[in-house]
């Protein structure tokens, strides 16, 4: 089926395991997964079809792309459908699975659970309440979620003291943010209006994440949120502690890590897809941030895979 990267267990109830995974869809175009847990899937790279058969008595098929999120609450097989069925295909995702002893998966025929008034009493109840139906959140990985995913990868790689506690907290944050999106999708209403300045900062982050591979300047970013360059620079630095282009550089490096880990692209292609002006600039920035060259980082990931 594929292989796992940065797998972390023992992160506390109600979580079972979290890891990045590369789904290998074989020639023929279908990879079947026999799922026995309730889980969230965050699509990091690639695009394909996805089919769940028999949920609530019907088949559900969606088109998955990078930055999508799926909520899969049922103990039921599902299938990844390759966009190129005549050759093998890779999809890179992050899988967050819940402990079936604490958060049991639903039967395939279940169309949802009864609303629970005590949903906020503990995290397991919260998960059962909000993740009781299949959901496809197209483009759901907004800036706050992408930042948590990046932090999780860093913690899993470095394994500093207390990293499991930190990853458990990050998973709780992801669950909360995804549940809010699910509630918005179900009701058609936003769960809360953002504060004006925070909205501008969030909008800038999302714009940067959508245009990582483009040669951006501050004027273009400021025009997107209809602010002056000077005001935007001050506002972003005050809110995040980083400049706009410090944030962009770190996001590009995180994109490069994903491609180095799971793709067969060479370093030149990865530098281009991650938005760096040259291989030399990419290599300098990557080594300054990670302490190793891009090629050395790739070799380290391959050793982890065995």
Same domain, 287 and 217: yes
How many CB atoms lie under 10 A from the CB of residue 250?
15
Cis peptide before 87 (omega within 30 of 0): no
Same domain, 217 and 141: no
Same domain, 54 and 182: yes
Same domain, 100 and 224: no
Same domain, 178 and 257: no
Which pTM value belongs to this model? 0.86
Same domain, 64 and 110: yes
Q: What is the CATH number of the domain that holds 163?
A: 2.60.120.10
What does residue 70 show for φ and ψ, rounded to 5 degrees? -120, 140
How many CB atoms lie under 10 A from the CB of residue 132?
21
104-140 residue pLDDT tens: 998 766 555 545 556 778 999 999 999 998 999 999 9
3-62 residue pLDDT tens: 888 899 999 999 999 999 989 898 888 999 888 899 999 999 999 999 987 666 678 899
Classify residue 192: in a domain, yes or no.
no
Classify residue 232: in a domain, yes or no.
yes
Could you say which DSSP state residue 106 is in? Answer: B
135-146 residue pLDDT tens: 999 999 999 999
Query: Bridge partners of 30?
Result: 81
**Residue numbers of the domain that contains 231:** 199-305
Classify residue 193: in a domain, yes or no.
no
Q: What is the CATH number of the domain that holds 206?
A: 1.10.10.60
Average pLDDT of the segment spanning 280-291: 92
Whole-angstrom distance, CA of residue 233 vs CA of residue 236: 5
- Paired tokens of 220: 């273009």
Classify residue 126: in a domain, yes or no.
yes
User: Among positive and negative, which fits the CA dihedral 83, 7, 162, 102?
Assistant: positive
pLDDT at residue 193 is higher than 70: no
Whole-angstrom distance, CA of residue 116 vs CA of residue 120: 9
3-state secondary structure of 72: strand
How many domains is the chain partitioned into structurally?
2
């Amino acid at each position: 089926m594929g292989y796992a990267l940065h797998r972390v267990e023992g992160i506390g109830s109600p979580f079972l395991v979290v890891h990045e995974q590369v789904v290998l869809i074989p020639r023929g175009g279908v990879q079947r997964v026999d799922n026995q847990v309730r889980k969230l899937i965050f699509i990091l790279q690639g695009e394909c079809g996805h089919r769940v058969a028999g949920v609530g008595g019907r088949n559900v098929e969606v088109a998955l792309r990078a930055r999508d999120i799926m909520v899969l609450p049922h103990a039921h097989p599902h299938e990844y459908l390759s966009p190129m069925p005549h050759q093998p295909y890779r999809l890179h995702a992050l899988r967050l699975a819940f402990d079936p002893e604490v958060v049991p998966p639903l039967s395939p025929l279940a169309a949802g659970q009864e609303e629970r008034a005590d949903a906020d009493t503990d995290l397991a109840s919260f998960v059962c309440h909000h993740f009781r139906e299949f959901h496809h959140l197209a483009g759901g990985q907004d800036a706050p979620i992408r930042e948590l995913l990046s932090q999780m990868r860093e913690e899993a790689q470095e394994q500093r003291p207390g990293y499991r506690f930190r990853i458990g907290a990050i998973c709780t944050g992801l669950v909360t943010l995804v549940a809010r999106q699910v509630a918005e999708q179900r009701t058609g209403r936003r769960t809360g209006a953002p504060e004006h300045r925070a909205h501008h900062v969030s909008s800038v982050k999302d714009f940067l994440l959508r245009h990582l591979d483009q040669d951006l300047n501050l004027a273009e970013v400021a025009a997107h949120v209809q602010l002056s360059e000077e005001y935007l620079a001050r506002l972003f630095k005050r809110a995040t502690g980083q400049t706009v282009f410090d944030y962009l550089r770190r996001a590009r490096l995180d994109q490069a890590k994903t491609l180095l880990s799971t793709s067969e692209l060479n370093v030149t292609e990865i530098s281009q897809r991650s938005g760096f002006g040259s291989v030399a600039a990419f290599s300098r920035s990557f080594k300054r941030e990670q302490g190793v060259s891009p090629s050395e980082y790739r070799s380290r990931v391959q050793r982890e895979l065995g």
